[in-house]
Structure 1
């Protein structure tokens, strides 16, 4: 077996890497943004490598990746399954695995207290692969912070081919991050990227799509051909601002992105349907009765009457985002809007209800990815490829 150190050159989808004693840890926000952050939830979310993959070209029939993941434990809540790694060979799914060992992060949902315990590294192994020269992608677990140590193969490794695909950078909440998706290559943004033939940078940040200026600057400074921002649910379920602050914050977020991408196609996506927060403000809270029964379910704790004081709901956010985009697009022909309910709306909720009242399940991720690819990346969509000139 040939040992190859895992370096930033082998990664796609990460904006930064942290060098550890034994390898690297991918990050989805750059160091400057991380330095400006004081929130533990965002720190955990951006270190979880949703959309990040190890990519290379090889004739190897056996591939091993040594990693040290960080497992999350929530006392009183159902145990979390091990994170999943997806193997993709020449663009097609070719295997799946997990690394059961690693560090442990225990989070007390009642008090917020956390405890980190170091653990051993483990090895992910895929064998029986075809012996021809091929592109390999190993998609890292979208919901487990992962330290990458070494790559071992039975043939030499070389950089992956550049297929000339456009780069799509997407920012959103835990729904975009991939909560409750089956695996990292089957989150809705990953599926949409695969179907639409684009390279994904996923800045879906669980609980943290809050119009943070440092996130806007990270988007501004990242090369991308297509940009989308999906805003709304976290602003309701964290109850961090009122309409008075929301409108200028959206303008400021978009202004910052435009400073670095003045003519890049930019899509603003409003929230998908979430019945509990359509007309009831946040914050969201865990249903303690359900938690005592070993089930995770959320509930809205706000009062609908508080909308008169500017408290945000998904319905008011959708209306305001549509108004903002209509206003700005008069001077910005590359700015577009998508109502999130076209990805998941009332008929979908009747057929595929949100299991915990907040996050879509694996089947809904697939539906949303297919619809985004068709409506946005497909013919006639705002991210449709430019027509190829004839002659």
Structure 2
């Protein structure tokens, strides 16, 4: 820690955080969660536990005249056996609404995942320090967006001037749920994931429940959406159900109805947008499950392959094409009595032309440039005058 300054240490509390639905006090500090304790208690899946603790869309927000900011954190990083090391998670600094710096914490815990063996090993690490210097000494709004892909315990916030909670921005709150694409997989930084970009363009406050591998119509997730205050809600459904080969069409349709029914218990008239999957060529007509391509992994590349047989659609197996058709049908049926329910075909966000220009690098997740394109498209289709989230419709 730098000793040149008269440091002020400010406790990290829920009042300094946006985008988190719960804060857990740990032996080290505080851990933001994106699912509340009641939902976490009903979950037994390690993938979801990891995903919801990764603070996608979560940011520290405060006002200060500080010219230097230090944040001690304990990240938990993932690495995959046989694959190149993953880059450290990125923290984005935003000052008065504009990008003002980036940084990473190289220390932290490591989870070594062996996808071939289906095992993982936790290796404890040290607390590290993020540091931003040379900031203007005027009163300013400061946001530090936490890495979207690293579980991050917040240990200490130090500044050379007092900190006070950020002012209420007075914007509409957009609550979004989706898969790893909404979570931010393969985006360059936490403000570069498509929901954050769309929220910025739409002038709304984001709560991101994009949960990698875990957009599975879980009832506890529906109850979380039901119980979270919001002016706008969207749910992006489909790809994870195919990836895991989780259910057949017979179960899928009533599960979607039940998911939407639960949300409507808490938000009976809130604009609610159902978004079907973006184009993913390997699963358009081929069911799951999806598996890593271990031959590619051995060469240092992570790719995925579809393991199903297109003929299995006849027995009710799900493909992205089947899911889109069924979601469109369900929304059309329900919207006769629910005029605030809307549908968006995910291929309008990323379709055939986009796939030819910007193919999915691992055949499943978009890269940084594609996140930007999807964010811009969503903002144009949802937040402009004819969109489901047009101003004045909340």
Q: Which residue of the partner structure matches residue 233 of structure 1?
A: 239
Distance 2:300 2:186 in 1: 17
1:284-363 aligned within 5 A: 284-363=290-369
Work out whether residues 116 and 294 of structure 2, in 8 Å CA contact, stay in contact via their aligned partners in 1. no
Q: Which residue of the partner structure matches residue 111 of structure 1?
A: 117
Q: Gaps spanning 5+ residues in structure 2: where?
A: 1-6
Pairing partner for 2:174 from 168, 172, 180: 168
Distance 2:48 2:279 in 1: 24
Pairing partner for 1:261 from 258, 267, 271: 267
Shift of 1:159: 1.1
Pairing partner for 2:11 from 5, 10, 18: 5
TM-score (norm 1): 0.98
Work out whether residues 78 and 296 of structure 1, in 8 Å CA contact, stay in contact via their aligned partners in 2. no
Shift of 1:303: 0.2
Shift of 1:387: 8.1
Q: Which residue of the partner structure matches residue 25 of structure 1?
A: 31
Shift of 1:78: 2.1
**Does residue 210 of structure 2 align to residue 204 of structure 1?**
yes
Shift of 1:22: 2.4
Distance 1:188 1:59 in 2: 31
Pairing partner for 2:386 from 372, 380, 389: 380
Q: Which residue of the partner structure matches residue 3 of structure 2?
A: none
Work out whether residues 28 and 203 of structure 1, in 8 Å CA contact, stay in contact via their aligned partners in 2. yes
Distance 2:196 2:116 in 1: 33
Shift of 1:2: 0.6
SS of the aligned residue for 1:95 comes to strand
Pairing partner for 2:20 from 1, 7, 14: 14
Shift of 1:386: 1.0
Pairing partner for 1:217 from 197, 220, 223: 223
Q: Cα deviation per residue 1:41-99 (whole Å; 9 max; x = unaligned)?
A: 00000000000000000111111111000011211122111000000011111100000
1:2-151 aligned within 5 A: 2-151=8-157
Q: Gaps spanning 5+ residues in structure 1: where?
A: none
User: Which moved further from structure 2: 218-227 or 72-81?
Assistant: 72-81
SS of the aligned residue for 2:60 comes to strand
SS of the aligned residue for 2:130 comes to strand
Work out whether residues 268 and 338 of structure 1, in 8 Å CA contact, stay in contact via their aligned partners in 2. yes
The structure 1 segments of at least 4 consecutive aligned residues displaced by more than 2 Å after TM superposition are: none
Distance 1:318 1:227 in 2: 19
Distance 1:133 1:218 in 2: 36
TM-score (norm 2): 0.97
Distance 1:260 1:387 in 2: 18
